[in-house]
Amino acid sequence: MVVQLKNVLISDEVDPKCVQILQSNGIEVVQNVTLSKEQLIAEIPKYDGLIVRSATRVTADVINAGVNLKIIGRAGTGVDNIDADAATRRGIIVMNTPGGNTLSAAEHTCTLLIALTRNLGAASLSMKEGKWDRKKFMGTELFGKTLAIIGLGRIGKEVALRMQSFGMTTIGFDPLVSPAESATFNTEWLSLEEIWPRADYITLHTPLIPQTKNLINDDVFAKCKKGIRIVNCARGGIIDEDALLRALESGQCAAAGLDVFLEEPPKDYTLVKHPNVIATPHLGASTIEAQSRVAEEIAQQFVDLVQGKCLFGAINASALTNALSASSQPWVQLGEQLGRIASLLTKDFALKNVDIELFGESLKNGGSYFIASVMVGYLSLTPLGGGDAASSKLNLINAPVFAKQSGITTKATWKNELPAEHVKVNFQGAGGEAFELQGTVAGKNNLLLSVQGHAFKIPATLNGNIVVYRAQKAVSVADVLTAAAKDGVEVVAVSASEVKNSQGFGIINLASPATGKLDNLSTVVDAHANTL
């Protein structure tokens, strides 16, 4: 899948390096950070790409208005402001810059942990009011205390390493990080239930997802030591803000450091104004270094994608990962062509399963894109996908989603067997029907090797305009040419498979697309025209 980007809209404050890199690679850029949602919806149809930080809400209505959108880039980590499902259905790539602001966010978390243990915010405010109150702001040492880290990913790990230098014991939980991996950065992996009563401090470093929404709630505060201190530099909504306020008021929670909020900016400042809260307006990634890095990274990731060099940072386009290289392109096309042929010749059955076998070293990593390309071809000729597939531009990103939605299961297996470099695709119907195609690539040519086990003596070329047919008997080339001439189509080549059990298949290559009906050809064979 080649991604062409003529222009990009940047709708948030992003370091100027982003604009420079895009422009120097021939991509037009408009930066407008003042757009209301309605203005963004009105503007977005003009653009191929969109770059945001966390301020722009890229909702489904923005995405659906972006009729030319091919890619949405997040100059930062969290993508919860982008409706990635809506983008995937539209075949739009969503990418972020994982890691670009990790160190800044980790440092900001440590800053908040230190600040809240020594009442820095309140003490500083009091001095600005002309007071010298040394008694009121008695603090606690971090040394010897236990810090619980919820989410042991990039930022969680960096926070652990930094806070250990203060003599803190770090414990943590992450469903995707093993106890052994966690031990490599001296953090004891524990279940959440084990963590709550042991922690003196809690810091949150997960994404905001259904499993983490209100993860810290009244029940959790009740299980913690009295005087627990908590920092949230991840996402608003991971702490139930009402529960936090109750815990602060009862003294169950001694202090909270908050960089992120359920609503940004918050409408209600009660929590922020609590004397034991230190709050910053989502500044975790706001450093010169992090902003420079994420701006450069997102722009370079766009450029690398357009140049077909690599795909990095995409969160919804696994099929594209190995599909960009020049050597993969003909196989992507072949998959699409085989999908279309199957769609044309299996109109009588409801597709349930597609089983793909890939042979040869060059197809070792081809499974995900080959499945996707077969589904692009198949679905493009069907009304499947609840109308979505028909109304969206099908591509390698959204075709697997529509297939799944239509109840079609898919599987690809790589086999290190001879003959090498070919594919076998088995389409299975709900009624137990089976339809098998085999194909290969030779240079720039996509070739059909067999249909239903009926081999082509000379592989049929699938490039360009073709008619694919099924015949109940051997058909002479002369009959095909005569019928095609009567239908007004110019034939370039005819390839017929062997005929077995009164059935054979063929490909007729045409000089130009068959625009009219193929009535005469259809008296000779069961013919279906297609431009592949």
Ligand X SMILES: NC(=O)c1ccc[n+]([C@@H]2O[C@H](COP(=O)([O-])OP(=O)(O)OC[C@H]3O[C@@H](n4cnc5c(N)ncnc54)[C@H](O)[C@@H]3O)[C@@H](O)[C@H]2O)c1
Does 232 bind ligand 3PG (CB under 6 A)? Our answer is no
Q: Which is nearer to ligand 3PG, 53 or 340 (CB)?
A: 53
* β-bridge pairing 253-258 and 277-279: parallel
Does 313 bind ligand 3PG (CB under 6 A)? Our answer is no
Minimum gap (Å) between residue 177 Cβ and ligand X:
5
264 is catalytic: yes
Minimum gap (Å) between residue 236 Cβ and ligand 3PG:
10
Nearest to 17 by CA among 206, 294, 295: 295
Closest-approach residue to ligand X (CB): 153
* β-bridge pairing 228-232 and 201-204: parallel
Closest-approach residue to ligand 3PG (CB): 76
Does 285 bind ligand 3PG (CB under 6 A)? Our answer is yes
Q: Which of 73, 76, 439, 459 binds ligand 3PG (CB under 6 A)?
A: 76
Give the position of tokens 């392109």: 329
- Return the CA Rg of the chain: 30
Q: Which is nearer to ligand 3PG, 90 or 282 (CB)?
A: 282
- Binding interface with ligand X (CB under 6 A): 77-78, 101-102, 105, 150-156, 173-177, 205-207, 211-212, 233-235, 259-260, 282, 284-285
**Annotated catalytic residue, options 282, 454, 470, 528:** 282
Contact between residue 116 and residue 231 where contact means Cβ atoms under 8 Å apart: yes
Minimum gap (Å) between residue 259 Cβ and ligand X:
5
Minimum gap (Å) between residue 296 Cβ and ligand 3PG:
14
Q: Which is nearer to ligand 3PG, 237 or 284 (CB)?
A: 284
What does 211 interact with, of ligand 3PG, ligand X, none (CB < 5 to 8 A by kind)?
Answer: ligand X
What does 234 interact with, of ligand X, ligand 3PG, none (CB < 5 to 8 A by kind)?
Answer: ligand X
* CA distances to 121, 334, 380, 501 from 341, in Å: 68, 10, 11, 21
CA distance 153 to 187: 12
Does 53 bind ligand 3PG (CB under 6 A)? Our answer is yes
CA dihedral 263, 265, 271, 273 (to 10 degrees): 180
Does 205 bind ligand 3PG (CB under 6 A)? Our answer is no
- How many other CB atoms sit within 10 Å of the CB of residue 127? 12
Contact between residue 495 and residue 459 where contact means Cβ atoms under 8 Å apart: yes
Minimum gap (Å) between residue 304 Cβ and ligand 3PG:
20
132 class by beta-carbon count within 10 Å (0-12 exposed, 13-18 middle, 19+ buried): exposed
With helix as H, strand as E and coil as C, how does 443-506 read?
Answer: CCEEEEEEECCEEEEEEEECCCEEEEEEECCCCCHHHHHHHHHHCCCCEEEEEEECCECCEEEE
What does 176 interact with, of ligand X, ligand 3PG, none (CB < 5 to 8 A by kind)?
Answer: ligand X
Does 78 bind ligand 3PG (CB under 6 A)? Our answer is yes
Q: Which of 44, 48, 50, 54 binds ligand 3PG (CB under 6 A)?
A: 54
CA dihedral 483, 488, 491, 496 (to 10 degrees): -30
Minimum gap (Å) between residue 207 Cβ and ligand 3PG:
9
Minimum gap (Å) between residue 235 Cβ and ligand 3PG:
7
Q: Which of 284, 366, 439, 504 binds ligand 3PG (CB under 6 A)?
A: 284
Q: Which is nearer to ligand 3PG, 153 or 504 (CB)?
A: 153
Q: Which is nearer to ligand 3PG, 172 or 284 (CB)?
A: 284
Task: Read off the DSSP letter of residue 123.
Answer: H
Give the full edge-to-edge strand order of the sheet including 526-531. 491-496, 504-510, 465-471, 526-531
Strand partners, 146: 169
Q: Which is nearer to ligand X, 91 or 121 (CB)?
A: 121
Q: Which is nearer to ligand 3PG, 56 or 187 (CB)?
A: 56
**Annotated catalytic residue, options 235, 274, 293, 422:** 235
**Annotated catalytic residue, options 141, 264, 289, 490:** 264
- How many other CB atoms sit within 10 Å of the CB of residue 485? 13
Q: Which of 56, 77, 187, 300 binds ligand 3PG (CB under 6 A)?
A: 77
CA distance 319 to 371: 8
E strands within 14-70? 28-31, 49-52
Contact between residue 369 and residue 319 where contact means Cβ atoms under 8 Å apart: yes
What does 528 interact with, of ligand 3PG, ligand X, none (CB < 5 to 8 A by kind)?
Answer: none
What does 233 interact with, of ligand X, ligand 3PG, none (CB < 5 to 8 A by kind)?
Answer: ligand X
Nearest to 210 by CA among 231, 236, 238, 191: 238
Does 206 bind ligand 3PG (CB under 6 A)? Our answer is no
How many positions of this chain bind ligand 3PG (CB under 6 A)?
10
CA distance 488 to 491: 10
235 is catalytic: yes
Contact between residue 177 and residue 189 where contact means Cβ atoms under 8 Å apart: yes
Minimum gap (Å) between residue 284 Cβ and ligand 3PG:
6
CA dihedral 69, 71, 72, 76 (to 10 degrees): -160
Does 109 bind ligand 3PG (CB under 6 A)? Our answer is no
Minimum gap (Å) between residue 277 Cβ and ligand 3PG:
19
Minimum gap (Å) between residue 338 Cβ and ligand X:
37
Q: Which is nearer to ligand X, 54 or 392 (CB)?
A: 54
CA distance 315 to 58: 15
- How many other CB atoms sit within 10 Å of the CB of residue 506? 25
CA distance 111 to 229: 14
Residues of this chain that bind ligand 3PG (CB under 6 A): 53-54, 76-78, 101, 282, 284-286
Active-site amino acid positions: 235, 264, 282
